[in-house]
Amino acid sequence: MNKHFYSLDYLRGFAAVSVCLFHFSDKFGFLPTDDPVKWAFSGGHFGVEIFFIISGLVIPYSMAKGQYTLSKVFVFLKKRFIRIEPPYLLCVLLALALNYATTLSPVYVGKPFNIDYEQLFYHIGYLNGIMGKDWLNQVFWTLAIEFQYYLLIAVFFPFINHKNWLVWGISLIAFNASASLFDRNFVFNFAIFFTTGILLYRYLADKSNRVEVIVSAVMVLGVLAYNYSYKELLVTIGTVIAAVLPLRPTWIGAFFGNISYSLYLLHFPIGLRIINLAQRFSDVQSVRQMMVFVALLGSVFVAYFYYKYVEKPFKLMSARVKYDTKASAATRTVEEH
């Protein structure tokens, strides 16, 4: 399992940029309904499902590489906490600060700044959706789903990693069947996408034979065709194909793959403020179309420095936490997202 999947760098970058362009062209009625730019990026929100599939793959891959067992659950959670929490929590404070700064603008129109401490506190445990409180940054809801997935797989990894197809198969069926018991604030409603990634892991790590792969793929496609539109079906198929391609590393793939998490976190507070300002000062459609890409460039610029000075140090710190003190340097082969 000593392999880096460069295809995932491209997928991460593509997913993050897609979500950005969707939000920049769709929010605030910035562009008219029939605008070609808005239409071109109308499917960008499916980048979220791509992220879920990637997590479904890389998290168990990394756990298997570290010879994870239930006795190492706190090591796993420590690694995830160090990797994800500091950039996220700092972004929570950044959103709060920017909300305050916005109210100081002479052109601001809206409610006066006020801190809802209950709302703020729930961000620590990703509980806003469950507790009925708005997120300070709308994309945080997906991080809540990811966080639940981490907690779930920390317990159930031995089952989904089991050699016996009855054990791992029934575990994944139960995971997906639970969707009927929970609303969209819970990971179970996105189980099919995480399951797709988990099955990719089993395939790429040679945990499943060809027959098991084919049967599993047919079942996943059946669930998608029955419960979702053809768009989710095509996105899932496209993501799986892209993930297994033997792509070569390039600077653009590495760049956008590296900053994808920071870009995802920051595009709302940075990019959408650019869109909001543009909406106030120009009604010209061509100018607004151009500002969609200006907002993307501005977000990428800020995300690069956020990655370099905030995210990357914690990413490296997380990589230094080993499941086994005797583990080799190979534990850094696949980067966790």
| pLDDT over 70 at 129, yes or no | yes
pLDDT of amino acid 2: 59
Q: How far is CA 250 from CA 215, 246, 253, in A?
A: 35, 13, 5
Q: What is the mean pLDDT of residues 19-26?
A: 96
Q: What is the mean pLDDT of residues 223-236?
A: 94
- Summary mean pLDDT of the chain: 92
Q: What is the mean pLDDT of residues 160-187?
A: 95
Backbone angles phi, psi at 126, to 5 degrees: 55, 45
Q: Please give the Cα distance from 308 to 287 (Å, whole number).
A: 32
Q: What is the mean pLDDT of residues 271-291?
A: 92
pLDDT of amino acid 333: 47
Token readout for 49 is: 């499902």
Q: pLDDT > 70: what percent of the chain? A: 95
Q: How many Cβ atoms sit within 10 Å of the Cβ of residue 57?
A: 28
Position 255, amino acid? F
| pLDDT over 50 at 331, yes or no | no
Q: Which carries the bigger pLDDT value, residue 29 or residue 306?
A: 306
pLDDT of amino acid 1: 56
- pLDDT, one tens digit per residue, over 40-70 is 999 999 999 999 999 999 999 999 999 999 9
| pLDDT over 60 at 187, yes or no | yes
Q: What is the mean pLDDT of residues 197-205?
A: 95
pLDDT of amino acid 325: 52
Q: What is the mean pLDDT of residues 279-299?
A: 94
Burial degree of 84 (CB within 10 A; 0-12, 13-18, 19+): buried
pTM of this structure: 0.93
Position 241, amino acid? I
| pLDDT over 90 at 218, yes or no | yes
Q: What is the mean pLDDT of residues 152-163?
A: 96
pLDDT of amino acid 326: 55
Confidence of residue 237 (pLDDT cuts 50, 70, 90): very high
Burial degree of 162 (CB within 10 A; 0-12, 13-18, 19+): middle
| pLDDT over 50 at 329, yes or no | no
